[in-house]
Amino acid sequence: MTLKELHLLNYKNIPEAHLHFADRLNGLVGLNGQGKTNVLDAIYLLSFAKSAFSLQDRDCIRHGEQMAMVQGVYDKDGETVTITCGLRQGGKKQFRRGDKPYQRLSDHIGLLPLVLISPQDIGIVLDGSDVRRKFMDGTIAQYDPTYLPALNNYSQLVQQRNALLKQLADKDGNADNSSYGEMLSVYEQQMLPPAQQIYEARRLFIDHFVPFFADTYAILSDGNEVVRLTYQSQLAERQLPDAWEQTRQRDIILGWTSVGCHKDDLLFSIGDYAIKQVASQGQIKTCLLALRLAQALFLSDRIKQPPILLLDDIFDRLDSRRVKQLVEMVTSERIELPAAQVCLEKPFSQIFLTDTDRHHIHRQDTSFAAMKTFVVSDGTINEDNE
């Protein structure tokens, strides 16, 4: 699968662009703040129906404009697939495959597998558990079409239960001696099936993913240390119906649901300590890079279709040794992963990267000599003829 063409209109700071990409390597160069990352974000949008960096769709529309459009033309298994996203101020997002609009955006996820590596990945280690759940969810959704509907259903039910808990808190209600208790029980019965599905999907994912992570980390760190990845879930030790009943009074005081798979987490550790407590900056960067590369390799093996790989501004943030190891991995035609017990041929279908210096990119590896390069300046994108 490759992205052949990208057409942009009023997307973030880009007024208009019509880009034709190489099948293997594509580079976007320019000073910071010119729009390089916005191009990668547009490609991300076409895979996930949302921006990787903006919380609201309206923030993706160029300042002063009323609408924006992103369109990608893909070659997928010999078939031309056109995906179009239309955004309008105050209007609903339009997302189409060919001329047919999607009824549910979750139906699109997984069609165009993609992994983004960016400086914002630091939040996976340092920020709250919601960022680590997003990592799990974003991976599972690309190979399990039933996962996102279950996750959305569960999230809506948690919100409804929370709203009821807040009503009880305002009324000083007692969940065991009122009709509210029966209503809470109804929500809990509805929450149980999707919660169990989410937990099981996450548990199986981590069981299969850990060897990929171990292999990529060993490659990037030269095998000098071992970082462990552990899935933590309340569901592993508690039966949810009993837990919800036991925590009702506490949840009423809190005003939110304190037990469930919305509290799941991932723990990164070196030895007996959390990595964010003891690791150096270099170890954290290696951990995150290994995590994202493992995600791409896992997907390549799981769905038998190499994902598109986006590398956003990472060369200036890594030392020369890690850059060399990264370049060797992403440009490799064959990768052996002993812990995962797999050997992947051409694990990355197409690579897009950004950098502030065109010469910096070309110096990384002779493989980059064939890269197609675009120069980005103040939202204008031109093919580099140098």
Under CATH, which number does the domain 122-302 receive? 1.20.1050.90
Helix (H, G, I), strand (E, B) or coil at 49: coil
pLDDT band at residue 172 using 50, 70 and 90 as cut-offs = low
Q: Which residues contact 172 (CB under 8 A, 6 or more apart)?
A: none
Is pLDDT at 360 greater than 80 in this prediction?
no
Task: Write out pLDDT tens, residues 29-80.
Answer: 999 999 999 999 999 999 999 999 988 999 999 999 999 999 999 999 999 9
- Which two tokens mark 56? 């609201």
Mean pLDDT score of the chain: 91
Question: Which pLDDT score is estimated for 374?
Answer: 95
Is pLDDT at 122 greater than 60 in this prediction?
yes
Please state the rounded mean pLDDT for residues 339-352.
92
**Ramachandran assignment for 49, one of left (phi > 0), alpha (psi -120 to 50 degrees), beta (any other):** left
Whole-angstrom CA distances from 314 to 103, 180, 282, 384 are 37, 52, 13, 21
CA 115 to CA 353: how far, in whole Å?
Answer: 12
Task: Write out pLDDT tens, residues 219-239.
Answer: 888 777 788 999 999 999 889
- pTM of the full structure: 0.93
Question: Which pLDDT score is estimated for 350?
Answer: 94
Q: Which CATH superfamily is domain 1-113+349-386 in?
A: P-loop containing nucleotide triphosphate hydrolases (3.40.50.300)
Contact present, 198 and 137 (Cβ < 8 Å): no
Query: What backbone torsions phi and psi does residue 297 show, to the nearest 5 degrees?
Result: -70, -40
Bigger pLDDT: 270 or 133? Answer: 133
What is the domain partition of the chain in residue ranges?
1-113+349-386, 122-302
Question: Which pLDDT score is estimated for 257?
Answer: 95
Please state the rounded mean pLDDT for residues 248-272.
92
Task: Write out pLDDT tens, residues 271-311.
Answer: 888 898 888 888 888 899 999 999 999 999 999 999 999 99
Please state the rounded mean pLDDT for residues 241-248.
90
Question: Which pLDDT score is estimated for 296?
Answer: 96
Is pLDDT at 141 greater than 80 in this prediction?
yes
Question: Which pLDDT score is estimated for 55?
Answer: 82
Neighbours of 51 (CB within 10 A): 20
Element (H, E) at 23: none
Lowest mean pLDDT among 108-122, 165-179, 257-271, 276-290: 165-179
Lowest mean pLDDT among 2-6, 208-212, 320-324: 320-324
Buried b (16+ CB within 10 A) or exposed e, 303-319: eebbbbbbbbbbbeebe
pLDDT band at residue 328 using 50, 70 and 90 as cut-offs = confident
Contact present, 180 and 167 (Cβ < 8 Å): yes
Element (H, E) at 208: helix 179-220
β-pair partners for 25: 351
Task: Write out pLDDT tens, residues 183-220.
Answer: 888 999 999 999 999 999 999 999 999 999 999 999 88
pLDDT band at residue 366 using 50, 70 and 90 as cut-offs = low
Is pLDDT at 138 greater than 80 in this prediction?
yes
CA 342 to CA 44: how far, in whole Å?
Answer: 27
Question: Which pLDDT score is estimated for 111?
Answer: 96
Contact present, 136 and 244 (Cβ < 8 Å): no
Portion of the chain with pLDDT greater than 90, in percent:
71
* DSSP string for 250-283: HHHHHTS--SSGGG-EEEEEETTEEHHHH--HHH
Q: Which one, of 298, 381, 311, 300, lies nearest residue 352 by Cα? A: 311
Question: Which pLDDT score is estimated for 174?
Answer: 54
